[in-house]
Amino acid sequence: MPKIKLPTKQPFIDMTPMVDLFSILLIFFLLTGTFRAQEPAPVDTPFSISEKPTPDFNNMTIVFSSDNRVFFNVDNGSDTLLKYRPKILECVGERFNIQFTPEELRKFEKYNTSIGVPIEKMKEFLNAEDPSVREALQTGIPYDSLNNQLEVWVLCTRQINPAVVASLKGDANTEFPTVRRILDILQDKNVNRFNLVTSLRAVKVEDTEN
Amino acid sequence: MADIGGAQETGKKGGKKRRARRGVVRVDMTPMVDLMCLLITFFMLTTAFSKPKIMEIVLPEKIKKDKEKEEAPKIAKSRTLNIILGPENKVLWYTGAVDDPKNPPPLQVTDFSPTGIRALLLERNRALFRKIEQFNNDIISGKIKMPLDSIEPAISRLKKEDDTGPIVLIKAYKSSNYGNFVDILDEMSIVGIARYAIVDISWIEEQMVEKTLGISSTGSTP
């Protein structure tokens, strides 16, 4: 019986179009997406129907997580020409008699996520090389009446950039007294307009026929 | 990896090459596809496509204690609706005000479902809600023509002119959470309540909540 001769050469699939496709996808994702900044604490924002996007600049964000830690972030978008961040840290440091070296200020400027470090620990935080050490120092900014550092941060930010608008980004499970306390601190500094950061949720309002 | 296609061995091994082989150089693209796949996965996971949304609230200015005695603005009792955010996503409400601390008005318990607090607010705010809806429909159908950026001021004017809807006072019991707070503000904008304010809870109201929900008060017993 004659054997059927199988072709010895294996089929060759041309992958070039697939590479083309993937490069196009890759370029698309690179252009449309923005990097998600890593928050020091997990924050599940509550939902609302609001469709207003967050402003890109002149924005200070107070982040609070469900374990009542408070973080602070100044976001001026990609516009770093004005270099608010080091100025703010300098101003806060002055209030607590802490001098920051230019190098520390530069490190603070580069650090682009929220900061939740008591000002006494800030030097240690900025000079730490190990990310896990930094993580451990993020104990939240003190905001009780005896040691109200959050107030100073807000005050300094508004001094340096008067056009700043306060945003609150909080975990939905935070207890209300914490929120009230933060609102009180801001209101004491005459900040009465807030942006609450929320996730979008579509709501259908049912017809209201009697 | 790369091989030269179309150049079959002719069997003339060792023979002199007369001309250069005219084969097509075929490069295996599979590893590149793998790499692209990984990169795409990485970027998809690390980027955020939708920016977070914001909800604007404006709180009334605080009445400073050291300034001369400023009276809190007075509001009509009959239009007042007090909403108290309770524990475990409960919402409690009563109308009017507490006149007699010994005999407080009964609290109604409801929740954040569409048939709960929203139905109540909608019922009370129906006139204004209809007006806003009518206005929105007119815009969509083209009956009213106006530039996009003046729609919002027009709606807020409608709200300002309204004098039938409730004046909602939002209060929060101590064990309510931030999610409830945002939810209730959200309900305000869904239903189109013209006038609402966030007010500190009074001890009488705290007691009312505790009595209604059967929570033992953490403070001293009277």
Q: Which residues pair with B197 in a beta bridge?
A: B169
Q: What is the pLDDT along chain B (222 residues), one digit of tens a residue?
A: 555 554 444 444 444 555 666 677 777 888 888 998 999 888 888 877 667 788 888 877 776 655 555 556 666 777 788 888 888 888 888 887 777 777 777 788 888 887 888 888 888 888 788 888 888 888 888 777 777 777 777 777 777 777 777 888 888 888 888 888 888 888 888 888 888 888 888 888 888 888 888 776 554 444
Domain with B204 in it: 77-97+107-119+166-222
pTM beyond cutoff 0.90 = no
pLDDT (0 to 100) of residue B38: 92
Both B137 and B171 in one domain: the answer is: no
Residue B213 in tokens = 């929900």
Candidates B186, B187, B222, B180; CA nearest to B204 is B222
Cβ atoms of B213 and B109 within 8 Å: the answer is yes
Q: Which residues pair with A35 in a beta bridge?
A: B47
d(CA B53, CA B55): 7
Both B173 and B205 in one domain: the answer is: yes
pLDDT (0 to 100) of residue A96: 85
> Which of A18, A49, A174 is the closest to B177 by Cβ?
A174
Residue A24 in tokens = 């196009």
d(CA B132, CA B126): 10
Residue at B42 is within a domain? no
Among chain A residues, the shortest Cα distance to B59 is held by A192
Q: How many domains does chain B have?
A: 2
* Dihedral angle sign, alpha carbons of residues B182, B187, B188, B189: positive
Q: Is A58 left (phi over 0), alpha (psi -120 to 50) or beta?
A: left
Distances (CA, A) of B136 to A165, B143, B145, B152, B211: 30, 10, 11, 10, 43
Q: Does residue A74 or residue B100 have the better pLDDT?
A: A74
pLDDT (0 to 100) of residue A24: 92
Both B114 and B178 in one domain: the answer is: yes
Residue at A52 is within a domain? yes
Residue at B135 is within a domain? yes
Candidates A140, A173, A179, A177; CA nearest to A46 is A173
Candidates B28, B16, B222, B187; CA nearest to B93 is B187
pLDDT in tens, A138-196: 888 888 888 888 888 888 888 888 888 888 888 888 888 888 888 888 888 888 888 88
pLDDT (0 to 100) of residue A210: 43
Both B160 and B191 in one domain: the answer is: no
Q: How many domains does chain A have?
A: 1
The residues near A16 (Cβ < 8 Å, ≥ 6 apart) are B29
Contact residues on chain A for B54, CB-CB shorter than 8 A:
50, 52-55, 167, 195-198
d(CA B114, CA B10): 81
B85 touching chain A per CB within 8 A: yes
Q: Across the interface, do B189 and A15 touch by the CB < 8 Å criterion?
A: no
pLDDT in tens, A106-134: 888 777 778 888 888 888 888 887 878 88
Residue A48 Cα, gap to closest chain B Cα (Å): 6
Q: Which residues pair with A193 in a beta bridge?
A: B58
Residue at A30 is within a domain? no
Least confident range from A57-61, A78-82, A172-176, B60-64: namely A78-82
What confidence category does residue A86 fall into, taking pLDDT thresholds of 50, 70 and 90? confident
d(CA B37, CA B44): 11
pLDDT (0 to 100) of residue B7: 46
Residue B117 Cα, gap to closest chain A Cα (Å): 13
